[in-house]
Amino acid sequence: MDNMADRIIILDTTLRDGEQSPGATLNVDEKLTIARSLARLGVDIIEAGFPFASPGDFEAVQQVAKTVGTESGPVICGLARAIKNDIKAAAEALKPAAKARIHTFISTSDIHLKYQLKKSRSEVLAIAEEMVAYAKSFVDDVEFSPMDAGRSDSEYLYQVLERAIAAGATTINIPDTVGYTTPTEFGELIGGIKANVPNIDKAIISVHGHNDLGLAVANFLEAIKNGARQLECTINGIGERAGNTALEEVVMALVVRRQYFNPFLGRNPESTEPLTNIDTKQIYKTSRLVSNLTGIGVQPNKAIVGANAFAHESGIHQDGVLKNKLTYEIMDAQSIGLTDNQIILGKHSGRNAFRSRLQELGYQLSETELNKAFIRFKDTADKKKEITDWDLEAIVNDEIQQAPELFRLELVQVSCGDRAKPTATVTIRTPEGEELTDAAIGTGPVDAVYKAINRVVKVPNELIEFSVQSVTAGIDAIGEVTIRLRYQDRVYSGHAANTDIITASARAYIGALNRLYGAGLKHKTKQTV
């Protein structure tokens, strides 16, 4: 990657900034699954986590570095505050990666300096320089971020960036940490950096945005026009507060409006060379994976990946699309992999066909995972005639996501109807290996199941979200249930898929309770940015 990149570099931070969304906590296996999917998507850099934050984060970055950070794979990046121990932890976690990057940061806005860091501008300037040099003693590829750059004094910002580049930063990342800037301002900020930082040609200019005013994508597009060549994004735009810049939105803007953006990268407007390395056909799949594993649903009207993004409801629009798609569609659903939903398998399909289709879809399961998933597949195929790729993904994601299995659902049974009081019986195996059965009456069957589970598990919590979505059309469709629980200001999610939505609801609830219970067991304290 040279400093004068003639294409747009994509750094995905779903596993770091995205994971800071309330309730998005992912375990190591889930992070690995997402990392593999990001590699297939073609991101240039995966920011895999913040190794100093917790032993779990350290392990996740190390595992991603080991398994996805191969010579032909993406660069693996670890975040570190401008503090020696953070940088050391990032360097250690990244060791197995063929291409490693340390991303270190310190705030530069007066408001952060005064109230958060309690340091002067000159102290921060010296720390930035010293810590970039320290990171450089471990890896060649060092990214530096002046946090809250969007609200920093520009003259001071230029000085900090010049010193960071002189100390060895090869990428300087400009974060709009609080999502405050407007597109014109953000573009001017990048243009100002390009014009006023004397050694700027020795580094790639990157941008990092939050969506508090819904301007994150627009800000990035202006930044590109003014010289930014790396974009930091997350899948589905998940992240702190209103989220980060959505990868799928900014990438598709560069695909659909390539002719408009080509000249800003010194290309002929008609050039057909893609502006990013992203394989857009992987977008939809990656979006669903991230949504399933984090438990953060995608709003139906969300650009690119929302359920309605390619649906035409109005008669006039439908009429136009039938006559010629271009009348109301600016991009093809196939370009994001939306219609690659082939019916491949059925109840007569064998283990080899199942394994090879999963491999084609990019899943690499261990023998144990494959066995478990195959049993689920056969069970589903008995109930559902045609198994699509989306069904397969739902089954596999469901299997991958069930760890840690502290409480295990052994049985769930309900009786309900318009004359009956919804009643549920559950049998649960506790972490101590005891099998307990209890029953409860509820306002509906799911409520009854949750009350019965609560009677056994006895983990206090508040249910804050429950949603059911069908994976495909048809009465025999697999239902996906996502739930979110709150306990003492922390949110825990659970997700499960089954043709029986009561079973899926029970499994999703147990999944979330296991996360809550597991977090309590570990007394995990995690540092976030």
**Interacting residues with ligand KIV (CB under 6 A):** 17, 105, 145, 147, 173, 175, 177, 208, 210, 529
By the 8 A CB rule, do 64 and 95 touch? no
The contacts of residue 268 (CB under 8 Å, 6+ apart) are 262
105's contact among Zn ion, ligand KIV, none, with CB below 5 to 8 A by partner kind, is ligand KIV
**272 three-state secondary structure:** coil
- Report in angstroms how near the CB of residue 140 gets to ligand KIV at its nearest: 20
Nearer to Zn ion, 359 or 528 (CB): 528
Please give the angle made by the CA atoms of 23, 26 and 27, to the nearest 5 degrees.
140
By the 8 A CB rule, do 516 and 485 touch? yes
- Report in angstroms how near the CB of residue 406 gets to ligand KIV at its nearest: 32
Which CA distances in Å does 339 have to 283, 297, 320?
A: 12, 20, 20
Nearer to Zn ion, 176 or 222 (CB): 176
Nearer to ligand KIV, 231 or 440 (CB): 231
Give the span between the Cα atoms of 481 and 503, in whole angstroms.
10
Pattern 5-34, Zn ion, x by CB under 5 A: ------------x-----------------
> What does the block give as tokens for 209?
């945005």
Nearer to Zn ion, 206 or 280 (CB): 206
407's contact among ligand KIV, Zn ion, none, with CB below 5 to 8 A by partner kind, is none
145's contact among ligand KIV, Zn ion, none, with CB below 5 to 8 A by partner kind, is ligand KIV
- Report in angstroms how near the CB of residue 249 gets to ligand KIV at its nearest: 18
Neighbours of 278 (CB within 10 A): 24
246's contact among ligand KIV, Zn ion, none, with CB below 5 to 8 A by partner kind, is none
- Report in angstroms how near the CB of residue 220 gets to Zn ion at its nearest: 13
Nearer to Zn ion, 17 or 30 (CB): 17
Give the span between the Cα atoms of 104 and 124, in whole angstroms.
13
The gap between the terminal CA atoms of the chain, to the nearest Å, is 27
147's contact among Zn ion, ligand KIV, none, with CB below 5 to 8 A by partner kind, is ligand KIV
| Residue type at position 231 | L
- Report in angstroms how near the CB of residue 306 gets to Zn ion at its nearest: 23
Nearer to ligand KIV, 91 or 449 (CB): 91
Task: Give the DSSP H/E element, type plus range, for residue 230.
Answer: strand 230-233
> What does the block give as tokens for 391?
């069904």
**493 three-state secondary structure:** strand
Nearer to ligand KIV, 180 or 310 (CB): 180
- Report in angstroms how near the CB of residue 245 gets to Zn ion at its nearest: 10
Which residues of the chain form contacts with Zn ion (CB under 5 A)? Answer: 17
